[in-house]
Structure 1
Amino acid sequence: MNRHELFDIAKGWFASKGWKPYAFQLQAWEAFLQGKNGLLNAPTGSGKTYALWIPIMLDYIKKNPQYKTKHAPGLKAIWVTPLRALSVEIKQAAERAAYDLETGLTVGIRTGDTSSSEKSKQKTKMPDLLVTTPESLQLMLASKGYDTIFKGCTAIIIDEWHELLGTKRGVQTELALSRLKTITPKLRIWGISATIGNLDQAREVLLGPESEAFQNSTLVKAHIHKKIKVQSIIPEKMDTYPWRGHMGLHLIDEVAKIIKASKTTLVFTNVRAQCEIWFQALLEKYPEFAGDMAMHHGSISRETRQWVEQAVRDEQLKAVICTSSLDLGVDFAPVETVIQIGGPKSVARFLQRAGRSGHRPGQQSVIYFLATHAIELVEASALKRAVKETVVEDRIPYLNSWDVLVQYLVTLAVSDGFYPSEIYKEVKSTFCYQAMTEENWTWVLNFITKGSQSLEAYDEYKKVDIESDGLFKVNSRSVALRHRMQMGTIIGDAVMNVKFLGGGYIGSIEESFASKLYPGDVFIFAGRKLELYRTKNMEVLVRRANPSAKAQHASWMGSRMTLSSQMSELLRQELYAANAYARSPELHALAPLFARQRKESIVPDADEFLIETFKTREGYHALFYPFEGRFVHEALASLMAYRISLLSPITFSLAYNDYGFELLSDTEIDIQQVLDNNLFTPEHLHHDLQKSLNATEIARRKFRDISVIAGLVFSGYPGRIIKTKHLQSGSQLIFEVFRDYEPDNLLLQQAYRETFEHQLEEGRLIEALERIQNQQIVWKPCEKPTPFSFPIITDRLRERLSTETLAERIKKMTASYMK
């Protein structure tokens, strides 16, 4: 069959559905059938799935002219998705096309949710098309005879590649692809990406720089302009002194109005605790939403999540309060409206969420932005501009992730074993390890066979044996079992399952939250009030609590997000525009706040950097406004505190948010001295950061994750998970051994490198300091706190006061500052 005949089959199927293929879909079909690899870039809800499932099926039809009567068994294509929740939908899309085209192709799923009976069936007979995750793909590489499973595979699709790029799961995927390229020479590799800035680099990371796959590849771009309508929910009365304490709940009536006026609404919150609080608040104020509203986040049981997803598709729900668990791919045709509560911190995340509504080609997406405090309206205005100008973040790929490489080599040794000379070439061909030296490689091999020089005396770190023919192989069954159980690169706080006394799984909460509860305590989780009966074997046993009982909301660690560099750039530009004549509705609504800010201080221009000082009963405050995001400010606050203390001994307490940071002291800070001594210089930054931030302490925490991924510490068997504090102390011990006796240990060096590159964002820090050096520094000694300083001050107060007390305190503070 020639290409035209094959295309006619596909176009006929599209026509039967009332569709017409887009130009980008035809382009992807053609490139795939020509044997090319590539990256497909198209907006959410534009038909990306069929841009690649269809050519996979056409390729099968071409190779098997008698496809309707004779079925050629064996695995033909793998579809890798970063989210298990998407696998059912991807499978259904493939089944629909495979059945209608009479191909006889079978479709299967293999993820952490797949039953053991289904997995054992797949061992004897693989489906033709397999939907899986990066972790499950690694597990397949850990099974004996994996090369025979994959050898007939003609395609692998990496979905939502922008979500994997810039993470260790992306590195894991790079390594798996390097192996598959060797054992299946005819393999075509395709990535799918929606929102990403550095598309060319994304394709290079996917296929491997300078590889044959990269030379024979193409970038397919959908030129579809997705109409996105962004509307801010602007309160009638604007806080002149904005604060962060109320999560936007003061606008709950506006949200209820939007929900009532739409067919289906997704309400996105940034973190799980906020999701729980909003769900509860809406139910309490609007009991009529009971039964029409649900909640969806990663800690709720899979069954409940799947029920919610299906209920949205079947138009049974009017609203879902959710987190990033619904950011990706799930096809919700009935969703009419999306509400974003609080700044999403990145343009890509905002566009992704907006794309959940009007999830059909050609339809408009409608997203409402609800600012949790006044200054967040500047973010809303910036996002509107980003949508208009299609500004999207780059994803920065990882380099030299030795922990992931250690895990991968043990994976290969657990299955059929490997010869180092062969695998070295493959690993070196990936983007992540392109700069790896033979010396690094030898170190990693020694590490998996001897446990590195400082651990050589302990047998438990010697995992891989070297056979007489030079094959590296794991022969110990217990090592193989532990390794299979701990594969993956997602490390979080240990979670405990929440179950009813009489049975019934509700979801999971983090150990750090559960450890603070006593029997009889009532907490709100998954939209229910639950009373703790007892904790046993990493299980939290509960019963339903009295509806009128006082309860605390479940909380999760690691939930603070920071502005991306593109987002902070947009925010600064928008803020500088506040001094210009042309204004967005959001900036117009903020006019009273800006007027008050100018009365006490200034609203800085593009060439100005603002420092404010004032005295309150708490002490002497110095506030700096780089508008660079929380993580950069955390590092900058420590850096400035350290540099000032070198001039004269002084103790500070630090506070920061996305807009700026505060140094609070009981003695006055000499700002003139700060300016005269050029303390904003990027020179000696690395050294000063190490001194100021206790970088060793942060690196020690990073090392915990690295040591779990590299298999240095074991996180436990199912039902017998090792507590986080024990994992932490185990990894700390190893960290100290390496630091004292083996400072050139690659995993130790990686912990420090990741601390500076990823946690402290050293690159962004240098850029921020260089920018400040080119600005005119405006120091404003103020009589009282300013509107810009208020959210930072209240953030610090919130650490010490309950919400009710804080609200009272803020009322009094606002009244006194407005005099």
Structure 2
Amino acid sequence: MNGKGHVPEEIAAWFEGRGWRVREHQRAMLEAADEGRHALLVADTGAGKTLAGFLPTLADFAPSRLAGKARPQVLHTLYVSPLKALAHDVQRNLLAPIEEIGLDIRVETRSGDTPSDRKARQRARPPHVLLTTPESLALLLSYPEAETLFSGLQRIVIDEVHAFATGKRGDMLALCLSRLQALAPQLRRAALSATLADPDDYRGWLAPWGDIDSVALVEGEAGAPPEVEILLPREERIPWSGHAATWAIEQLIEQIAAHRTTLVFTNTRFLAEYIFQELWSANEDNLPIAIHHGSLSKEARRKVEGAMARGELRALVCTASLDLGIDWGDIDLVVQMGAPKGSSRLLQRIGRANHRLDSPSRAVLVPGNRFEFLEAFAAQEAVIAGQRDGDGFRPGGLDVLAQHVMSLACAGPLDETRLLDEVRSSTPYAYVDAAVLARVLDFVATGGYALRSYERFRRIVRERDGTWRLTHPDHAARHRLNAGIIVDSEMLEVRFRNGRSLGKVEEGFGASLSPGDTFRFAGLDLEVETIKDLDLVVRAARRSATIPSYMGQRMPISTHLADRVRAMLADRAGWARFPDDVREWLEVQAWRSHLPAPGRLLVESFPYRDLAYTAFYTFEGWNANQSLGMLVTRRMADRDLGPLGFVATDYTLIVWGLKPIADPAALLSPDILTHEFVDWVQQSHLLRRAFREVAVISGLIERQVPGKRKSGRQVTFSTDLIFDVLNKYEPDHLLLEAAWADARARMTDVARVADVLERAAREVDHVELDRISPLAVPALSMIGRENLPAGAAEDDLLVEAESLAAMAMRVDPALED
């Protein structure tokens, strides 16, 4: 029997010889391929997703299916992963079944690390299966050989699709899929993931023309439910504030000693370094513990990865650099330090333990403070319920489209009509019409109206026959040197006018500042004089810092998890499940003030140290609260309320000033996003930062020239110069439009700010208090101490939190009577 979905006999024998069975979702992927359908597989970690994705390819090379016909001689299957390391890992795991079954299949990888001579050979004599990344695939499509190389392509497998589909790498890959489909109409697409909140959205992204009915949804067999517990202090209370969770270090050492291999996840690179040092200091038995994050050198990372693969480590402290599915089978415990921020991210991390479907993965969540306990509890419930979250899709970026157009022009002449049809077939760019494409082509051809007199921006030209061609072959080489979506984040040097440096901050933080803004850094209150190139020039502030301190990069809590926390706060009966100190915290909050209710916005006003404080419980994440803090304090200044500062956490925004806020709803009217927001973004460095990224991605500014890479300072200088020209002479330029889209969506999280304003328009619960409330303690205690994870401020932070907590939790004798 060789019907649809039938596993070839030699492959079935290999499964049987391993003591395995072909799982139903693996068989379903083969059946979808036999039916000529695209497919999306959603299956738990350890379910054999990668093998399921490749099973149709293995079947096509099986002698029993070939039945005497010659095996394919061309590139048959592309495998695309978000990480180079994952592609290499898959190659190792794929070669075993190929060799053991005896299939004649050549498998190779291609990435930025692949030697140039091998890349050239792959274009001329490709393997049967090529494992690559979105960036390398886009470059392959830029060569004249692309049509010949891909014309016989039968299958593309996109692994860990959730990791990049919703971002600009996903935009680029969607355009590449459309190009491949045009070159190989027989191509069938498959995508794999363990963590999708809405599979239909991804089916729409994967399908040509967004036709989700052409994409089979394959759901994996359910695995053993994960075992997730929350670590609590043995004798002490859960801290009021802080994110480092250093109270748990001794208990973590015990957990590491009791397990074979433990992965300790942190949410930032700085926190990874801090936790690693704390663990090492408490490591009296000298257990082999290492660290892994993206800022380490490639050599250091590979050394650690090798030690993990050989089973030489007992614990590895890491960041999102190890979120994705590299298979180290000896891991039997995953620890999440601090808040998980999202159920899908947590599920992905939990899946690193055991990596077997029939064996439960074990995870321990370690909250740094009481809000993080609530978040961990909500995440634990979401994981048990199998509920996932994730970023939503948005229209594709015009800067990415410009880069794609240039790639295709490097491969050969472009017909505008066919190009439009091809671009529109990708879901992120279904909105593109002839006018939008004409603007993009004009930008690639001239740089735009204000730049068209400069020869270096003229990269393509329309010929008499209507096709678009390169103006010079050299542009192809320069494009391939610079193409890509990932723009390295720069650091800003904080210095005084006399040149004295105080250190560096992430550009994302510095970009939100405008001249005159004040912030605290290196123990000093500083006022911004100017931001020039990569220098943040400051002077000593004459007043307390408006932004209490520099926090570094943060991952915001997901909307789904925030909604769960709000629902838990409203469910008083459910508080019985919480530790005594958390339950007491919430009970006193309910008695003294209110609790945040779903669909409403709780606002508290209270005096503290002779100033007027107001707390907004938004639960919209740090990015949105930081943006809202900037906007609200500006509006307070316009209303003569004397704003002096604000502090933002994932859950709370606290502002303070000389005069109390009598009507918080008036500060949150929707027009704040059409007036103050626009002014803030234009006056701050945010738009310039966004412009630099889109200018690099679109190819307007080159990071590399033959034999040399430009410094970040050189790139910034060039983009700032062009930004000023376009802002003055062509404010509707394509790249300014793209920069505004990034500033709204990614840098300021304006959609979540809008959610706060929508709730404020419906109902504001404004409570005026005579002192700080228990719920405000975690945020208020962070003022001036948010420059973690240096670690030095952690003890001071806890002391301040306990002092504030004593004030908030105190019950006056007169009130008891």
| Pairwise same-fold verdict (TM > 0.5) | yes
Query: 1:111 and 1:697 mapped to 2: Cα distance?
Result: 34
Q: Which runs of 4+ in 1 moved over 6 A?
A: 509-513
Encode CA deviations 1:173-199: one digit per residue, 9 max, x unaligned. 011111110111111111112211121
Matches within 5 A, 1:241-320: 242-244=240-242, 247-289=244-286, 292-320=288-316
Q: Does 1:23 align with 2:18?
A: no
Q: Decide whether the 8 Å contact of 1:234 with 1:586 is kept in 2.
A: no
* Residue correspondence of structure 1 range 317-328 to structure 2 within 5 A: 317-328=313-324
* Structure 1: distance between partners of 2:804 and 2:746: 41
> Does the CA contact (< 8 Å) of 1:270 and 1:324 recur in 2?
yes
Distance 1:329 1:372, change over 3 A: same
SS at match of 2:670: coil
Match in the other structure for 1:98: 98
Q: What one-letter code is carried by the residue in structure 2 that aligns with 1:289?
A: N
Instruction: Measure the CA separation in 1 of the matches of 2:563 and 2:7.
Output: 48
1:405 aligns with 2:406: no
Structure 1 position 238, deviation (Å): 4.7
Task: Pick from 363, 370, 377 the counterpart of residue 367 of structure 1.
Answer: 363
Question: What letter corresponds to residue 559 of structure 2 in structure 1?
Answer: S
> Against the structure 1 CA distance between its residues 805 and 78, is the aligned structure 2 distance closer, same or farther, given a 3 Å change threshold?
closer
Partner of 1:180: 180
CA distance 1:366–1:816, change in 2 (3 Å):
closer
In the alignment, is the contact (CA less than 8 A) between 1:234 and 1:589 conserved in 2? no
1:92 is aligned with what amino acid? R
For 1:795, what is the secondary structure of its paired residue? coil
Distance 1:799 1:723, change over 3 A: farther
Residues in 1 aligned to 2:173 and 2:289: alpha-carbon distance in whole angstroms: 37
Match of 1:755 among 708, 718, 743: 743
Alignment match, 2:777: 790
| Structure 1 match to 2:810 | none
Question: Secondary structure of the equivalent of 1:138?
Answer: helix
The offset of 1:560, in angstroms, is 1.2
Q: Which residue does 2:545 correspond to in 1?
A: none
Report the equivalent of 1:660.
652
What runs of 5+ residues in structure 1 fail to find an aligned partner? 497-508, 514-555
Deviates more, 1:785-794 or 1:77-86: 785-794
Q: 2:216 corresponds to which residue?
A: 218
Displacement after TM superposition at 1:475 (Å) = 4.9
- CA offset at residue 141 of structure 1? 0.9
Post-superposition CA distance 1:446-496 (Å, at most 9, x none)? 111122111011111111233454442335354322211211111122599
Contact 2:450 2:730 (8 Å CA) reproduced: yes
How much has 1:719 moved relative to structure 2? 7.8
| Alignment counterpart, residue 615 of structure 2, candidates 616, 623, 643 | 623
Maintained 8 Å contact 2:601/2:756: no
Q: Deviations over 1:484-534 (max 9, x none)?
A: 1211111122599xxxxxxxxxxxx99989xxxxxxxxxxxxxxxxxxxxx
- Secondary structure at the aligned position of 1:788 is classed as helix
Flag the 1:803–1:358 CA change in 2: closer, same or farther, 3 A. Answer: closer
Deviation string 1:48-100 (CA, Å, 9 cap, x unpaired) is 01112121121233663337xx6542211000001111112211232122222
SS in 1 for 2:650: coil
2:196 corresponds to: 196
Conserved 8 A contact 2:340-2:379: no
> Relative to 1, partners in 2 of residues 1:776 and 1:793: Cα closer, same or farther, differing over 3 Å?
closer
Give the aligned partner of residue 333 of structure 1.
329
Partner of 1:132: 132
SS at match of 1:255: helix
Unaligned 5+ segments in structure 2 are: 493-503, 509-549, 808-817
For residue 370 of structure 2, give the secondary structure of its aligned residue in structure 1.
Answer: coil
Residues 1:669 and 2:663 aligned together: no
Give the SS at the match of 1:121. helix
Contact 2:79 2:132 survives alignment (8 Å): yes
SS class of match (2:280): helix
Q: How does 1:354-753 map to 2 (within 5 A)?
A: 354-494=350-490, 559-577=553-571, 580-583=572-575, 585-595=577-587, 597-598=589-590, 601-606=593-598, 609-617=601-609, 619-648=611-640, 650-665=642-657, 667-671=658-662, 673-675=663-665, 678-682=666-670, 685-692=673-680, 694=682, 697-717=685-705, 720-753=708-741
Moved more, 750-759 or 268-277: 750-759
Residues 443 and 26 (structure 1 numbering): CA distance in 2 closer, same or farther, change over 3 Å? same
Once structures 1 and 2 are overlaid, which stretch shifts more, 294-303 or 16-25?
Answer: 294-303
Choose from 346, 349, 353 the match for 1:353. 349
TM-fit CA distance, 1:258: 0.6
2:174 maps to a residue whose letter is E
**What are the Cα deviations for residues 763-801 of structure 1, in whole angstroms up to 9, with x where unaligned?**
333333323444451313232x34422332333312579
Q: Distance in 2 between matches of 1:695 and 1:185?
A: 49
For residues 654 and 331 of structure 1, the distance between their equivalents in structure 2, rounded to whole angstroms, comes to 44
Deviations 1:281-306 (A, max 9, x none): 2112215335x222121222334333
Q: Distance in 2 between matches of 1:244 and 1:325?
A: 24
SS at match of 1:797: coil
Letter of the 2:411 partner, please give it. S
Q: Deviations over 1:190-231 (max 9, x none)?
A: 1112211121121111123356xx553311111414411111
Contact 1:410 1:448 in 2 (8 A): yes
Matches of 2:289 and 2:75 in 1, distance apart?
Answer: 41
**2-structure distance, mates of 1:462, 1:730:** 17
- Give the match for residue 147 of structure 1: 147
Q: Provide closer, same or farther for how the CA distance between residues 476 and 63 of structure 1 changes in structure 2, counting only shifts above 3 A.
A: farther
8 Å CA contact 2:241, 2:801 repeated in 1: no
- The farther-off stretch of 805-814 and 100-109 is 805-814
Secondary structure of the equivalent of 1:43? coil
Work out the CA distance in 2 between the residues paired with 1:804 and 1:58: 59
What is the CA distance between 1:166 and its match in structure 2?
A: 1.1
1:65 aligns with 2:57: no
Structure 2 letter corresponding to 1:454? A
* CA deviation vs aligned residue, 1:428-447 (integer Å, no higher than 9, x gap): 11112111121111111111
Inter-partner Cα distance in structure 1 for 2:351 and 2:478: 41
Q: Contact conserved, 1:27 with 1:220, CA < 8 A, in 2? A: yes
What is the CA distance between 1:8 and its match in structure 2?
A: 3.3
CA distance in 2: counterparts of 1:184 and 1:331, whole angstroms: 32
Residues 25-44 of structure 1 mapped to structure 2, 5 A cutoff: 25-44=26-45
Partner of 1:321, secondary structure, is strand
Of residues 635-644 and 127-136 in structure 1, the stretch that sits farther from structure 2 once superposed is: 635-644
Indicate if the aligned counterparts of 1:493 and 1:510 stay in contact, CA closer than 8 A: no
Q: What is the aligned partner in structure 2 of residue 499 from structure 1?
A: none
Q: Are the aligned partners of 2:44 and 2:357 in contact in 1 as well (CA < 8 Å)?
A: no
Question: How far 1:749 moved relative to its partner?
Answer: 1.3
Residue 150 of structure 1 and its aligned partner are, at CA, apart by 1.0
Q: What is the CA deviation profile of residues 287-343 of structure 1, one whole-angstrom value per residue up to 9, with x for unaligned ones?
A: 5335x2221212223343334334333322211111111111111221110000011
In structure 2, distance between residues paired with 1:592 and 1:805:
27
Q: Given that residues 493 and 724 in structure 1 are in contact (C-alpha distance below 8 angstroms), is that contact kept between their aligned partners in structure 2?
A: no
Query: What percent identity do the matched residue pairs reach?
Result: 29
Encode CA deviations 1:585-638: one digit per residue, 9 max, x unaligned: 445451243355456544444476432333333732211112221122123223
> What secondary structure does 2:485 align onto?
coil
Q: Could you give the per-residue CA deviations for residues 152-184 of structure 1, whole angstroms, max 9, x where no partner exists? A: 211011111111111100010011111110111
The structure-2 alpha-carbon separation of the partners of 1:357 and 1:584, relative to structure 1 and needing over 3 Å to count, comes to farther
Q: TM-score, normalised by structure 2?
A: 0.86
Q: Distance in 2 between matches of 1:164 and 1:275?
A: 23
Q: Are the counterparts in 1 of residues 82 and 133 from structure 2 also a CA contact under 8 Å?
A: yes
Question: Given that residues 238 and 590 in structure 1 are in contact (C-alpha distance below 8 angstroms), is that contact kept between their aligned partners in structure 2?
Answer: no
Q: How many residues align?
A: 754
